[in-house]
Structure formats: C-alpha cells, structure tokens
Structure 1
Amino acid sequence: MDEDRIRPRLVLATTLLPDGEVGEAALREALGAGDVASVLIDPAGRQPAPFQDFAERLVPLIQAAGAAAIVAEDTRCAGRVRADGFHDASGSVPALREAVGRFSPRLIVGGSGFTTRHEALEAGECMPDYLFFGKLGADLGPEPLRRNLELAEWWASIVEIPCIVQGGSDLGTLAAAIETRAEFIALSSAVFSDLARAGTQVEAANRRIDAAMEEATA
C-alpha cells in the first residue's frame, strides 16, 4: 500500500495541432474528455505573428476548461494573449532565472532542456514552478525516453518543485511515466496524432492513471 502516492495529472502539448477550427475542435474535445492540468502552447516552427494568432485563439478555450494555458518560448506572446504561464525551453539556467524574476508569481514559470542531474539542480535553484523532463515535439517514439524517466524519478524523489515527464506516443507505455511519480505527464503525439481521437485518448490516459493509482494504494 502506498497511501502517500500523488495522482499524476496530464499536461497536453499543442505541437501537432494545426491552426484553425480543426485544431481548436480537437483541443476542445481533449479538454472535455478528462482531467487536464495545463496545456503547453508550442510555437512548433510558427513565426511570431502566426503564433500569437494561434495562441490567442487557444488560451480562452483552455482557460474555460479549467486548465492553465502556458505559452512556450515567446514571452511577448505570453503577455499579449493573457496566458497563465510561460515555458522556457532553452535549457539555459540564466534564461530561466530571468524568466522567473520577470514573471513569477504573476505567471506560472517552468523550463525544460536540462538533461543532467547537475543542470536540473542548477535550474531548480532558480525556483521555477516546475521543470519539464523532455522536449516539445520529441515524443514520436512509442515509449518515453529512458533519460527523461530516470531524471523525473530522481527529481520527484528528492525535490519539492513539481516536474513534468514526457510520455511516449503509445498510451500502452504510460505506466513507465506513472511509475516515476512525477506530478505531471506530458502528452502530445499520443493525443493529437489522430485529431479525431483526441478526446478518446485523454479519457483512456486518465483511466490508465486511475487504475495505476488504485493498484498502488490497494
């Protein structure tokens, strides 16, 4: 029995979402299908103006569903679209420190790109709201990357700052991410590679998380 086990929550990344109604409809379905803590709005190669248009349409949709809208990489966009947070994906400790100093606590501030324990601890000293072990757009393989799993498991066991671990593209491998005890699991390809099934995939992911928690606390 593990009564202290915290149930991980889903974080969705918009990397594969197209602009326009089709992408918005898929995200709306995903958000309505089960528990989602936040959405990382990824530029995914868009130039600043198109990205701002993209984010401006998604932020109200995300917030209306009770999730946090976190804009990645573009600080100006995060402010202009009234996002709930900013995600620094540079892997730079000075950049993360600057973002925390500039936006926290007004916005949620997190970062990614830290690939060793030493880097992660240095990033943690900046006191972000979370660290993300993974890389936006790098979840195309069915299984989560071992390095991300190992870092998340280590981090979750010793550091109070929450972490997000990146899941794989196959929900059948979700157990590996759950077992790290990370507070959040990021999914993108697993949910949005087939836009018509986005809601179904979020529902299935939450069902797997619930089953794992029941087993852990039985």
Structure 2
Amino acid sequence: MDEDDFDAIVFPPPERTEQAKLYLISPQEVGGAFPNRLKAALEPGVATAFQLRVKDVGEHELARLAEPLQRICADAEVAFIVNDSMALAKRLGADGVHLGQSDGDIREARALLGPSAQIGKTCHDNRHLAMEAGEAGADYVAFGAFYPTTTKPSHYRPQPSILSWWSAVFEIPCVAIGGITPDNAKPLVDAGADFLAVCQAVWGKDDPSAAVQAFEDVLSG
C-alpha cells in the first residue's frame, strides 16, 4: 500500500489512554532573562519537553547559553532536546536531538547518543518520511506546520487526519507543530497528537506560566 492508498482511508480519531503533552520550542534569544522565563513556564508542570532551537550561533556560545537552561529542565524533570546538532547534543549530554530532514540520519544519531536518547524527526506532511523515520528508530515523528507560523515559516499544511492515521498504525508518538495556540489546538489533540509543540504561544506572552496553563484544558481532551 503506497501513500496515495493511505490518503484514501479515513482513520477514526484514537481513543486516548493518556492526555496530550506540551513540548516547548525555544525562541531565538535564550540569554538575558530567558532562563527565568523558562523556569516560570515549567513551574505549572504542564510541559514535558523543551527543545533548544537557536540558529546562527556557534557551538561554543550555544553550549554556554544552554547550561542554565539544561539545569532548569533537569530540576523540573523535563526532557532537554537539542535541535539539529548531534554534536552539540553529545557535548551537552542532552536528553535527545531533533533532526530536520537535512540534519542527519537517525541511526547515526542513535550510534552517537546511545539507546536512551530521545530522537525525533521532522516529517512535514509526508507519511512516507514518517514511516521511514519510524523504521530507522525514531522515538517520535513531528508533523506540521498545521497553522501559519512566523517561528519557522512552512508551506507544508498537513490535515489533522495525518495524526489519526499515524496513531492508528504506529505506536511511536507524534508531535503536532506550527502556529498552535490554546484556541486552535483542540482538533489536533482530538485527531491523536501525543505532543503539541509550541513557541510563540508561550514566549510571545508576558507571563509564560499563564501561557502554558492556558493549554491545560485542551491537552486533557
């Protein structure tokens, strides 16, 4: 069965055995007051993962910026994930790495980071890429952008049904990403998203703790 065949099948939304979780993506600026903002965002206990996603900064400087953030995540028992760079994830002893389609091979990351590392893969709106990632040993796959976003503009616009398809066929968790807010997240949770990845919906607010808490009701389904 190829991808077109899967597109023709309507998979019902899954019966949830546990509620969806929040996956925070960092803003570009993570110095200055940001460690305190991260600590505030994690205090409600809603988020379970934080991804350090900072572009165009050297590895040495990024490692310096990462140190307090990683410590805050560890204290809150939140997974600390590095975007793109297997080398930085290894250097920091991060909990895992998130790879874009051009950021390297999952098997290579597994060999470098070990069996306990959380390795995620961006799959856009593509079922075939997601299946390949699962077969390669990804711990989660990410679909999106579901909504318009300024964080990482994308022309990919998957339908929520891709989450239902994935949840029906595979046990590996799926992450929904892209322009997600408390107001538009419900269709993604209902469709089967295990995680909602958010950035501006939290860091664009004056009070990151309140912004995170605003997701609580929708995460519980």
Note whether the superposition's TM-score is higher than 0.5: yes
The CA distance in 2 between the partners of 1:25 and 1:148, in whole Å, is 36
Aligned-residue RMSD, C-alpha: 2.5
Distance 1:111 1:61 in 2: 24
Secondary structure at the aligned position of 1:147 is classed as: coil
Letter in 1 for 2:62: F
Q: Structure 2 residue aligned with 1:7, among 19, 23, 26?
A: 19
Number of corresponding residues: 203
Q: Which of 53, 60, 70 is matched with 2:64 structurally?
A: 53
* Deviation string, structure 1 residues 65-87 (Cα, Å, up to 9, x no partner): 11110111112211222211111
1:128 paired to 2:106 = no
- TM superposition shift of 1:114: 4.6
Alpha-carbon distance between aligned partners in 1 of 2:29 and 2:165, rounded to the nearest angstrom: 35
Unaligned 5+ segments in structure 2 are: 1-13
**Alpha-carbon distance in 1 for matches of 2:28, 2:54:** 10
**Gaps spanning 5+ residues in structure 1: where?**
213-218
Q: Distance in 1 between matches of 2:15 and 2:128?
A: 31
Kindly report which structure 2 residues correspond to 1:87-102, keeping only aligned pairs within 5 A, or say none.
87-91=98-102, 95-102=105-112
**Which residue, out of 146, 150, 173, partners 1:140?**
150
Alignment check: 8 A CA contact 1:87 1:109 kept: yes
Residue equivalent to 1:62: 73
Report the equivalent of 1:182: 193
In structure 2, the partner of 1:85 is 96
Name the CA shift for 1:17/1:23 in 2 (closer, same or farther; >3 Å): farther
Tell which deviates more after alignment, 154-163 or 144-153: 144-153
Give the superposition deviation at 1:17.
5.1
Question: 2:204 matched to which residue of 1?
Answer: 193
3-state SS in 1 of match to 2:183: helix
2:128 is aligned, of 118, 141, 151, to 118
Identity %: 26
* Deviation sequence 1:81-136 (CA, Å, 0-9, x none): 221111112357x612321233241311111145311121111110111111136x
CA distance, structure 2, for counterparts of residue 134 and residue 166 of structure 1? 5
Using the alignment, how far apart are the partners of 2:18 and 2:109 within structure 1? 28
